Amino acid sequence: MTITPEKAAEGRRNFLKILAGTPALAALGVTAAMKGPVRGGPVRVGFIGVGGQGRALLSNVDPAFADVRALCDINPTSLARADEVLVRNKVAAARHYADFREMLQKEDLEAVIMAPPLWAHADLTVGCLEAGKHVLCEKMMAGSVADCERMRETARRTGKVLEIGYQRNYNAMYHAAYDGIIKSGAIGDVYHVRLAWHRNGNWRRQGTPPSPDFDASKWGYPTFEHLINWRLYWKYSQGLMAELCSHQLNAANWFLGSKPEAVHATGGVLRFKDGREVFDHVYATFEYPTGQTAVFSSVESNAFDDYYEMFMGTKGTLILRREIEALYFEEGGGEAGATSITVAPQTAGPVALSSETQAANTNQQMAQGSPVSPLFDRPRSTRLQIQRFCSAIRVGTPLACGPDKAFDSATACIRANDAAKQKARLPV
């Protein structure tokens, strides 16, 4: 997809013009969020899995909403790095555990936020829910359809809050685009969606064991390399479909108001023949019961396209790039085309989806097409997701995703991998 800077500027203006004067525009100017501390005080939280993504979650905890009491990880190096996050955030140190069951027994926790390898999602989530804890689990839901269903059923049976980490559901730009472009009908009828996440690099990670006697095998990993590169092996991972496609398909399902009924896919280890099992190039076509189609591609050999979701309607085309930029092009070209929105540095305040605290001149600035910072990026969306999770526990605030939506995107991605392996079209 090639969009010149001039065309992108046009698309930014078009997006804002479509939204001008609509309630959807309110979401774009938000700088503050849910009022904290929540009633009843911050939720007492433990973390499971504080690798890269776990620390990203930890970095975005608002202490007005969550009090981090404990950290659990089988890798001492990850725990030490998580301690550094707490120091940077100027919050109290948390106790360390290697076994989540010990953490649940010894700590007075109300909830768990987790980002372990995919193969552990179901067992850890079910264990925490059955122990009476609410759970925010990083995406994808689980590595098998049966495990996804087990998580969902346990949440229903225990009555505990279960949220899955799809931060687009908490991104103001996506809500504005959905309300102002999709739901309003401005885009017309959407029959085709393009999802792309292209990179040029090796997914393999490098690292050394935390100590000479560190034994990963007691945790189910035959070697330390399997532990740090779990994403590269089918036993632990669903590859690019889980780590990337599930994000975008979750958003596509939301915007289309439906879920795939069939998928055909292809993929392979085409570039990095280094012993990995999961594909480094994947391509999938998802078919919806209403006749809509979403195509997904992810390659690790070229980064030109970067990543985006494109919704092609009979009246226009909506492009959401890198979770921070929205462009709109009216069919036939012209000024009602692409608009882009830039993101400013992080502010101290929490973020929100509504207009309760938006600046008085935000609507005017946006209508004129000036670069306003509506706080769209992933850290802000993650921060809001954790806030809403805690608020759901305290006062029943509705979740933006939840296990049902997460189940639909997860099962479709699992079936896409099955289709690629079998070289077949499969029902979802």
Among 303, 317, 270, 309, which residue's Cα sits nearest to residue 286? 309
- Which whole number is the average pLDDT over 112-116? 98
**Farthest-apart Cα atoms in the chain, separation:** 66
CATH topology of domain 5-32+172-207+224-373+402-427: Dihydrodipicolinate Reductase; domain 2 (3.30.360)
- Highest CATH level, class, for 43-169: alpha beta
Among 151, 178, 156, which residue's Cα sits nearest to residue 22? 178
Instruction: pLDDT band for 26, please (50, 70, 90 cuts).
Output: low
Instruction: pLDDT band for 338, please (50, 70, 90 cuts).
Output: very low
Instruction: pLDDT band for 375, please (50, 70, 90 cuts).
Output: very low
Residue 427 reports pLDDT greater than 80: yes
Q: CA-to-CA distance for 41 and 179, rounded, in angstroms?
A: 33
Residue 379 or 70, more confident: 70
Helix axis angle, 402-422 to 246-256, nearest 10°: 120
Q: CA-to-CA distance for 390 and 64, rounded, in angstroms?
A: 10
| In the chain, % of residues over pLDDT 70 | 85
Instruction: pLDDT band for 135, please (50, 70, 90 cuts).
Output: very high
User: Mind listing the pLDDT tens digit for each residue in 41-73?
Assistant: 999 999 999 999 999 999 999 999 999 999 999
Give yes or no for a contact between 133 and 163, defined as CB atoms under 8 angstroms apart.
no
Residue 105 reports pLDDT greater than 50: yes
User: Mind listing the pLDDT tens digit for each residue in 346-369?
Assistant: 333 322 222 222 333 333 333 333
pLDDT of residue 379: 80
Instruction: pLDDT band for 371, please (50, 70, 90 cuts).
Output: very low
Residue 86 reports pLDDT greater than 60: yes
pLDDT of residue 175: 92
- 345 DSSP assignment: P
Q: Is the pTM of this model over 0.85?
A: yes
In DSSP terms, which residues pair with 265 in a beta bridge? 284
Q: Where in the chain is the domain with CATH 3.40.50.720?
A: 43-169
Phi, psi of 266 (to 5 degrees): -145, 160
Half-sphere exposure in the Cβ direction for 174 (13 Å, CA): 27
Q: Where in the chain is the domain with CATH 3.30.360.10?
A: 5-32+172-207+224-373+402-427
pLDDT of residue 163: 98
